[in-house]
Amino acid sequence: MRLAGARVLVTGASSGIGAATALELSARGARLVLSGRDQEALAGVAARTGGEILPADLSDPSADLAVRAGRVDMLVACAGEGWSGPLARMPGGTAERVIAVNLAAHVQLTRLLLPGMLERGRGHLVYVASIAGVVGVREEAVYAATKAGLLAFAESLRYELPGVGVTAVVPGVVDTPFFARRGRPYTRRRPAPVPPERVARAIAVAVERDRAEVYVPAWLRLPARLHGAAPGAFRVLARRFGRP
């Protein structure tokens, strides 16, 4: 899909991968609609990209983001919520919020935006998932489940959408405020976090080249393939070398 002139809705655009993606797409000529909860941060991104601001909390099922966005040629689903710790200790309401923001809201948003794309015979859907959704992560069961759901959603849509591209992005550890917000900072030396700009560039290239799936960094395909081909061996290695 040609990005120049395309009207792109980016969720989670106030920081992290969403903000970096907005800057990258703007540099390639896209017209942006920026959504997020932090209005002040969104205003800063809009000032650098010329984007339109649509504040929204995707955990609220009554949010009318699709209606307010109007015609959209491309959706980049970056908004995400996390929580880290044993599932038995998860506070009430947290699982519902993580599921709503990471998965349910983007399913609903896609459903509402898709008819216009199909009518025009063009469009692109991008879902920022996580390696956690491929291999699972200890003490992040709900988060991993939502990302796995997003990957399955994207894969299923590819079979039914003529003229509309679908891309799933599978990042590993990214240097964003996500870890602080989930309640546990990232403390491992390896793998080292990658900058969000690297993910943003991968998103732009994937859309322009109509790629169905992209891993960032690319070496993450190896553990993903091992997990798929030999899940037992993968689990043994994961236990031996630390939490996956």
> β-strand 7-11 against 52-55: which pairing, if any?
unpaired
Bridge partners, residue 166, by sequence: 125
CB 174 within 8 A of CB 199: yes
CA angle at 11 for the pair 8 and 12, rounded to the nearest 5°:
135
Q: How many CB atoms sit inside 10 A of residue 15's CB? A: 21
CB 127 within 8 A of CB 154: yes
How many angstroms separate the CA atoms of 28 and 178, rounded? 26
Q: Is 143 a catalytic residue?
A: yes
Question: Which among 143, 159, 186, 215 is annotated as catalytic?
Answer: 143
CB 150 within 8 A of CB 168: yes
Amino acid letter, 118: L
Residues 6+ apart with CB under 8 A from 67: 112
Which has the closest alpha carbon to 74: 107, 114, 37, 101?
Answer: 114
Amino acid letter, 66: A
CB 106 within 8 A of CB 127: yes
Give me the active site residues, please: 143
